[in-house]
Chain A
Amino acid sequence: MNETDRLRAAIRATEPEGWGQFDVEAIMREGRRLRYRRRAVAGAGVMLSVAVAAVGVLVVLRQPGPVEPGVPPVVTATATTPGAGSTVDPTGPPEKPALGEVLGTGIWYGGDERVFYFVPVEVPRAAGVTIGLVAGRRSPDGRLTADFLLNDFEGSDRRPGFHQIGYEPSAVVVPADPVPTFGYFVGPAARIVGSVGKRPVAAQLSRWSEDSDVVIFWFHPKSLPPGQRLDGILAWDAQDRQL
């Protein structure tokens, strides 16, 4: 018996019974949600040269992200490179102004700094979603380049609690300017801690200039490698009460 035979035998010898006890109803609900979102986007006629990752809420603006086979690239909203003198990437989305202050993080890629800022968005059949959070880069001359747009696709963008969390699509193929894991929380959060396995990872926070209930958070790449998924995330208020 050679090594491939042994490998084949080992793979099959360890095939357990008991797998496959999945909640089919939950799977079908998620499938319907995906289907609905594709139709909603197609119906809105929104087709840009960007792709949606992370079930349609994370828009990768830097480059097309992984797309499942047979599914055309779609986008749920638009993002901008704000600033009157800014240059819009010809393949990028239409320009819109940033809402409020652009938040610097102190994370640098050469001369560019990682920044976060909100932009207006329009999501088909989700009137309560009007803002999206952009992870961008600010060059030394102040020009902004959007990398990721993160927005809700249903409900309200001011719903209390955590909203969508943005990840670099892959932890394996990471660009030179990876996007830190980021998102926003609505509520009086003074401390946010994620977890990877049993390891806690503290986030850095800043309140949005236009709405102090909105707390932008991100994980420094040195504490959480970009692309690495969190297993959990919690928030506490100033009195150390869990929110």
Chain B
Amino acid sequence: MARGDAEFVEFVHAASGRLAHAAYLMTGDHHQAEDATQTALARTYASWSRVRRDDPYAYTRRVMVNYIVDNWRRPIREYPTDEIPHRHRDDVADEVTARRWLQIALGTLTARERAIVVLRYLFDLPELQVARELEVSVGTVKSTSSRALGKLRQTLVELPSTPGGQR
């Protein structure tokens, strides 16, 4: 295997987990999330010689997020609440509560709002970088983010329990 290929394999193993989770948050559907992640990784590999020395993770994320926003076709619809979370932390009930809250909260957002929420709060990207990755203005990021948080705040008010909070 060529050195570039070995690097790509290593990159996939290191990056695909969080990318897939981000895709799942944006689509609410495991199948679509896997499809988006694989598509982004394949496009990254197609340009690997060019992007490997730059920032392949940012490149893949940008391709994936824009792919989802461009191809998004129906409201977020599936956050199974009856399945056991994959990771068994100390308190499974907290995870189930968080998952349920996410299902409701993200379901109120548009595709672009979800993309901004995921880039801001999963990847912790500053607004300027979010704007670059989505190819929109910083003002659009600010206003969209504000609108999304407003919806989330409303969802939070309407729910009796708080997700991911202190036990």
Using CB atoms and an 8 Å cutoff, list the residues of chain A in contact with chain B: 1, 3-4, 6-20, 22, 24, 26-28, 30-32, 34-35, 38, 66, 68-71, 169-172, 227-229
B156 interface contact, C-beta 8 A: yes
Q: Do residues A20 and B20 form an inter-chain contact, with CB atoms below 8 A?
A: yes
Q: Would you call B21 and A16 a contact (CB within 8 A)?
A: yes
Q: A3-B152, A27-B42, A38-B46 are in contact. Are A69 and B66 (CB under 8 A)?
A: yes
The answer to whether B43 and A10 have CB atoms under 8 Å apart is no
How far, in Å, is B65 (CB) from chain A's closest CB?
10
CB-CB under 8 A from A15, the residues of chain B are 18, 21, 87
A17 to B66, CA, bound (A): 24
Q: Complex formed: what's the CA distance from A229 to B68 in Å?
A: 13
Q: What residues of chain B lie closer than 8 Å to A20, measured between beta carbons?
A: 12-13, 15-17, 19-20
In the complex, A68→B153 CA distance in Å? 33
Q: How far is the CB of A73 from chain B (nearest CB, A)?
A: 15
Q: Nearest CB to that of A70 among chain B residues?
A: B47
Number of residue pairs across A and B with beta carbons under 8 Å? Answer: 151
Contacts of B166 in A (CB 8 A): 1
Q: Which of A8, A17, A26, A229 is B121 in contact with, Cβ under 8 Å? A: A8
Of B20, B34, B67, B98, which is within 8 A of A68 by CB? B67
Question: Would A71 and B47 count as touching, CB distance under 8 A?
Answer: yes
A6, A10, A27: residue with the most chain B Cβ atoms closer than 10 Å: A10
A171 to B72 Cα, complex, angstroms: 7
Q: A9-B98, A11-B121, A16-B21 are in contact. Are A31 and B70 (CB under 8 A)?
A: no
Q: Is the interface of B mostly helix, strand, loop or mixed?
A: helix
With contact pairs A9-B165, A28-B5, A170-B71 given, residues A14 and B99 touching in the complex (Cβ less than 8 Å): yes
Closest to A21 in B: B16
Q: Are B63 and A68 in contact (CB under 8 A)?
A: yes
Query: Top 9 closest A-B pairs, CB basis?
Result: A31-B45, A9-B164, A16-B86, A20-B17, A20-B16, A171-B73, A30-B42, A34-B46, A19-B20
Q: Knowing A1-B166, A169-B70 are in contact, say whether A22-B102 is a contact too (CB < 8 A).
A: no
Q: How far is the CB of B54 from chain A (nearest CB, A)?
A: 10
Please give, as numbers and ranges, the residues of chain A lying within 8 Å of B72 by CB-CB distance.
170-172
Report the separation of the CA atoms of residues A10 and B47 in the bound assembly, to the nearest whole angstrom. 34
Q: Do B63 and A69 touch across chains, with their CB atoms under 8 A apart? A: yes
- Closest B residue to A54 using CB positions: B71
Inside 8 A of B165's CB, which chain A residues have their CB?
1, 6, 9
Known contacts A7-B121, A12-B122: A24-B12 contact under CB 8 Å: yes
B85 at the interface (CB under 8 A from A): yes
Q: Report B-chain residues with C-beta under 8 Å of the C-beta of A38.
A: 46
**Once bound together, how far apart are the Cα atoms of A12 and B98, in whole Å?**
9
CA distance A71 to B50 in the complex (A): 11
CB-based contact B87/A228 at 8 Å: no
Residues of A within 8 A of B66 (CB): 66, 68-69
B9 near A68 with CB under 8 A, answer no
29 inter-chain pairs at a CB distance below 8 angstroms, sorted by A residue, are A3-B152, A3-B156, A6-B165, A8-B121, A8-B122, A8-B164, A13-B89, A13-B94, A13-B163, A16-B85, A18-B86, A19-B17, A19-B20, A19-B21, A20-B15, A20-B16, A20-B17, A24-B8, A24-B13, A26-B38, A27-B42, A27-B45, A31-B43, A31-B44, A34-B46, A68-B63, A170-B71, A170-B72, A172-B111
Bound complex: CA A70 to CA B18 (Å): 23
Do B117 and A7 touch (CB < 8 A)?
Answer: yes
Interface residues of B in 87-133 (CB under 8 A from A): 87, 89, 94-95, 98-99, 101-102, 105, 111, 117-118, 121-122
CA distance in complex: A3, B99 (Å)? 15
